[in-house]
Chain A
């Protein structure tokens, strides 16, 4: 990202003019610096400060308690459980999403396939819909007694009585994983289609002349050329999966018995949904989560760099 800039002009501008340009540059940066400073940079540092105090949010008083919040968060089995659930959710959702969408993308990429734009639209439709509303609608769809899913299962004779998909701690997480994959499938699909577009038609035409069939082309051309994209797409998907808050909160609210409480819901519960909010405690959890996500982000940058090296182009 840090390639040296070429200044906008070739001739060195006169001194006064340069001063005026600098003024304009900073005027242009002001909205970003101010907004970003207040709503992103300040919160990053403030989170650290809050994590060292006891503070209920109603009063101004914040009492310095040192590392106590961290000790308490780290000693809370529910915090570790929320971490585990976030990890489990990610591990379950990411591979399914990445490979299922690759499969569909390969099918959709064929120029001879009829109705391909229609299919693309259909698979992308859930992506544009509001997650929180999808979550609420899914509560109706998965209703244990009367929801359409259970009615279908009963009609097919697969179950005798309705399954309480979202109310049973053994099925709730997997149900949300399923809905999550359905909801965000289209994004990964588009990523793959974009990646497939980078392979030029000539390569395939040459292979056709050499007598290669579709399977040989897939194995020897398409998949090897997609390899560098696999890392990027997997990491993008992974990062998005960590932000499952909306869907989880509206579908299960972390329940039943905390079995779907991901880290963001844990933070939310202590900071906003508790009768006496524990903002210091919640901040300590947030800082730990933030550090974890940043570490993943760093890994992502390294991964993309490695992918670029092996991929050559781009």
Chain B
């Protein structure tokens, strides 16, 4: 089992004698530039829907369609954003999504780290049972558990509340995160603990002051994966907000907006931009970690 976020080895094969920009070098590189050109076309096609959406959010209703594939609006109409933000409550939905996501991520990281830690480094009665149950339920789809989840939330008085949504989101399938922590903690050397215990560390300070700081790479991966899953969650927020429109998250709000307002296309585009912008920005800033995290989870 490898560590999760080992920096990728640089694969550059340039050697000291390798002169750049000589005729021979350029000719040798030519095929690569052709491939790059082909990929550039594909990549543009890939991000085109986003560009189109941003441009549509700045056009008026007529222009959205009149201008067809064109990306530049005649003169940008920022009102669309104002309409989506206040009238269509996307400001509120953004707030709900941020609250739900942040609390869920914190809960998932803390509980998965604690569970992964004790499962990895202690042998105790019941350990095999806990592990067995976790692994046996690794594949359970949301569609399978959703009805009892709603039922039990209702009985606990948590349906139609953000608390209920957060608990359901952080209580469900996060087995993969526990297993990531487990794998990481298991390969740490035992001397670490021995040294800490000699220094007088108890159970808690061993975990918080020695183990958790060591596990920052896994924590980053779990944080990002949970963040993505929660920010994008749809099924649970949908059924948890049936009778409370003010608690909708962005994705549920977007669906409702279309249902109520299927002619306001530029408003919809603005709402979509509001919904996607935070996560896209975060991704662009942290993209290396996103990618390494997913790759690391597979390499295991």
Contacts and interface: CB of A to CB of B under 8 A. Distances in A.
Interface of A: 1-2, 4-10, 20-22, 24-25, 28-29, 31-33, 35-36, 38-44, 46-47, 50, 57, 104, 107-108, 110-115, 118-126, 128-133, 136-141, 145-146, 148, 151-152, 155, 182, 185, 187, 190-191, 193-195, 197-198, 201, 232-233, 236, 239, 242-243, 245-246, 249-250, 263-264, 267-268, 271-272, 279, 282-283, 286-287, 289-290, 293-294, 296-297, 300, 314
Contacts, number: 313
A112 B257 CA distance: 47
A148 B70 CA distance: 9
Chain B interface, >50% SS class: helix
B35 to A, nearest CB: 6
A124 B224 CA distance: 14
B162 interface: no
Contacts of B272: 133, 136-137
Given A9-B193, A119-B43, A194-B298, A141 B49 contact: yes
B200 to A, nearest CB: 13
Interface string B97-126: 000000000010011101101111111100
A112 B29 contact: yes
Interface of B: 8-9, 11-13, 29, 32-33, 35-36, 39-40, 42-44, 46-47, 49-50, 52-53, 56, 64-65, 68-69, 107, 110-112, 114-115, 117-124, 127-128, 130-131, 133-135, 137-149, 151-152, 167-168, 170-173, 178-179, 186, 190, 193-194, 197, 203-204, 207, 228, 231-232, 234-235, 239, 242, 250-252, 254-255, 258, 265, 268-269, 272, 275-276, 279-280, 282-284, 287, 290-291, 294-296, 298-299
Nearest to B112: A32
Nearest to A287: B144
A91 to B, nearest CB: 18
Most chain A beta carbons < 10 A, residue from B114, B143, B251, B280? B143
A187 B294 contact: yes
Most chain B beta carbons < 10 A, residue from A151, A185, A190? A190
Given A8-B122, A111-B13, A136-B272, A286 B143 contact: yes
13 contacts: A6-B190, A38-B171, A39-B171, A43-B148, A114-B32, A122-B47, A125-B47, A129-B50, A133-B254, A139-B258, A245-B142, A282-B147, A289-B143
